[in-house]
Amino acid sequence: MSSLPAASETTTPTAMSAIAVDGLRVRRGGRVVLDGVSTSLPSGTVAGLLGPSGCGKSTLLRSIMGVQRIEAGDVRVLGAPAGSKDLRSRVAYMTQAPSVYADLTVAENLTYFARVLGAPDADVARVTEAVGLAGMTGRLVDGLSGGERARASLATALLGRPEVLVLDEPTVGLDPVLRRDLWALFHRLAAGGVTLLVSSHVMDEAARCTRLLLMRDGRLLADTTPDGLLRDTGAPDVEAAFLVLVEQTP
């Protein structure tokens, strides 16, 4: 990490960050999956968590949601310990596998989750519109394509008025037009103070973020901005920058 700001140096006081991770260590099945991960994201950030499959992205997101048992470290969201009861209607989560009921229609799924969250039923129309499923609300999830299922799952995360959105690969396999629209939506939400942490294994999504977390083998290689990454590595694109960072790491 020679020329890049170390993750710990960018850590601001917890009270100011929407998401604050400090010295996070997670072991799954005897294997260390996250080793000393620290970062701090202020409100209104659109942060991209990038790295190859299996590098620990989902585990980090699960830790931030408070559903992952952790070995060491501290994870705070909106100032409260991750997974606190108070956070359950303020933080929304989209898992990597579409977690919606296959034997219900899109509308039935969203209506159920809206009621659990206490969001108005009218929210269902808003979020189906946002993910481009407006014409398919009456269809069973079972009959949808993989991308459509993922969108139904993303729509669920948009219900209510979450202050933090944790999205695990939300744009995989999507039509480029829809992908562009979703990123525009993410930035509109961020402009309103919502903090987004979005994972992807596709490096070209990096340019759409205001903050980048590059991950490999359970460690953060970089915690910077897209411009900062290219400047500090002298690489032409994020993919090349990733390789520079991997070679710099002892």
Q: In the complex with another protein, which residue's Cβ is closer, 4 or 198? A: 198
Taking the complex as a whole, how short is the minimal distance between the CB of residue 105 and another protein, in angstroms? 8
Residue from 6, 16, 52, 69 binding another protein (CB under 8 A)? 69
Q: How far is the CB of 85 from another protein (least distance, A)?
A: 8
Residue pair 3/185 in contact (Cβ under 8 Å)? The answer is no
What tokens appear for 126 in the block?
A: 């808003």
Could you count the other beta carbons within 10 Å of the beta carbon of residue 10?
15
- Rounded Cα distance between 93 and 166, Å, is 5
Minimum CB distance to another protein smaller for 116 or for 191: 116
Does 235 engage in binding with another protein (CB under 8 A)? no
**Residue 72 is a binding residue for another protein (CB under 8 A):** no
Size of the site for another protein (CB under 8 A): 32
Identify any residues that bridge with 236 across adjacent strands, giving them in sequence order. none
Residues 107-136 that bind another protein (CB under 8 A): 108, 112-113, 115-118
Longest distance between any two alpha carbons in the chain, whole Å: 54
Going by C-beta distance under 8 Å and a sequence separation of 6 or more, which residues neighbour residue 104?
A: 112, 140, 141
Q: List the structure tokens of 47.
A: 């942060």
> In the complex, what is the shortest distance from the CB of residue 156 to another protein, in angstroms, rounded to a whole number?
7
Of residues 13-42, those binding another protein (CB under 8 A): 28-29
- How many other C-beta atoms lie within 10 A of the C-beta of residue 204? 11
Give, as one character, the DSSP assignment of residue 205.
G
- Per CB under 8 A, the segment of 41-49, 104-112, 191-199, 226-234 that binds another protein is 104-112
Residue list 152-211, contact with another protein (CB under 8 A): 156
Distance separating the N- and C-terminal Cα atoms of the chain: 9
Binding region for another protein (CB under 8 A): 28-29, 65-69, 83, 85, 88-89, 91, 93, 95, 97-105, 108, 112-113, 115-118, 140, 156
